[in-house]
Amino acid sequence: MINEITCFKAYDVRGRVPDQLNSDIAYRIGKAYAEFLKPKQVVVGFDIRLSSEELCTFLCKGLTSAGVDVINIGLCGTEEIYFATSHLKTDGGIVVTASHNPADFNGMKFVREESKPISGDTGLNEIKKLAEKNEFVDATEAGVVEFADTQAAYIAHLLEYVETDKLKPLKIVCNAGNGGAGPTIDALEASLPFEFIKLHHKADGTFPNGVPNPLLEENRKPTIDAIKQHNADLAIAWDGDFDRCFFFDENARFIEGYYIVGLLAQSFFEAESGSKVIHDPRLTWNTIEIAKASGGQAIQCKTGHAFIKERMRKEDAVYGGEMSAHHYFRKFSYCDSGMIPWLMVVELMVKSGKKLSELVDARMKAYPVSGEINREIADPPALLKTVEEKYSNLAESVDHTDGLSMNFDNWRFNLRMSNTEPVVRLNVESRGDEALMLEKTDELLSLMV
């Protein structure tokens, strides 16, 4: 009898330790990854969670027993694995991380050569089946583990996205949330003219200040207080593996990731005429309008880092952005980074002479949004069906790229099941009418019971 491994999701692995993910499962995942991909050399690393190093050790044992050589870069952020895989020209990479999930969770993200993602559509389901079957034969010659430090090369690459000699002093609050962002900020600091006010800076897998997830409003207060206390120019906060970054302006106002997508998209359109950007279906109108005004192309794609990356490669898009604060860059092997966006935004502030609020205010007024609202729903498919039936006669268009998106004359919404958590997510936006957006948000929430 094959025992199901329940920690495999749509495009990564996430589960509670030790019942859903443990050393035995990590070992089997290493063996399965090796059998599926048949790599010669793989980069691995791990985040700051208390279980991460042990899981990484057993992952490496699975890989090496299958004859794979491993380069272990140690404690790192997810994007450092993406960088190292391409930089070292290995056949793949795996990072042990559970991002912003609860402290007792862990997981893994996988790439192949050139940091190409492995999702359910491109091999993750096969890896799952092999791990469940657990019928492996050891290689005649085991692989070896060597340790490497790629941070200096990674930092040098990050600095290529800005003209450091043209930057000016700014006061920046940075909240690492006791996740992995702190060491990278420390390494960047010597090359930048900024004063960093560091909050929850020390990596600590016990998460003494709560799980690092700035999307949760209750996690934002320390950042907001620090902006006010230090009269800072802006603030940045990260999730645990810092592949997402979140912005607060000089007024201590949280800026939805949607508007940062538009800001960065516009920057790339101006730099590369006719270029393409990829966006997710949850919030779209602002990005589409910016593309039309700039002569670029905005292309919609299913939500999720693996899907965005695959579409970016297909279209050779210069940039991809999700309203959940994932930002992807062609020069970064089409991968997401939580460091490149804030460097680019700060450079835009300096070059334009504008505050962050001035860079986003007009777009926020043009397209007010609800912010993502999550609800646990007993029967999500039934909910989506009910909502579609209720609004089908009124909608100008209906789209099922990811969940249910319905467009009306002056407002639209997206309702979808999460790929990583047992919730349904709602996003609503309108054309310049905040009252209408709030009204329709309440209307939809009344159905989400």
Max Cα distance, the chain (Å): 68
Read off the DSSP letter of residue 217.
G
Torsion, Cα 228 230 233 234, to 10 degrees, reads: -60
Active site residue 273: no
Strand ranges inside 151-262, DSSP E: 171-175, 195-199, 234-238, 245-248, 254-255
Q: Would you state the structure tokens that stand for residue 289, as one six-digit string?
A: 């309008």
| Residue carrying structure tokens 């007993």 | 378
CA–CA distance, 375 with 390 (Å, rounded to integer): 19
- Phi/psi at 331 (nearest 5 deg)? -70, -15
CA proximity to 241, closest of 292, 284, 181: 181
Collect all residues with Cβ–Cβ distance below 8 Å to 200 and sequence separation of at least 6. Answer: 175, 176, 177, 178, 209, 212, 222
CA–CA distance, 262 with 220 (Å, rounded to integer): 23
CA–CA distance, 209 with 207 (Å, rounded to integer): 5
| Residue carrying structure tokens 């909608």 | 395
Cβ atoms of 412 and 397 closer than 8 Å: no
Read off the DSSP letter of residue 329.
E
Among candidate residues 51, 99, 275, 405, the one labeled active-site is 99
Cβ atoms of 312 and 334 closer than 8 Å: yes
Peptide bond before residue 18 is cis, with ω within 30 degrees of 0 = yes
Judge residue 86's burial from the number of C-beta atoms within 10 Å of its C-beta, 0-12 exposed, 13-18 middle, 19 or more buried.
buried
Q: Which residues are catalytic?
A: 99
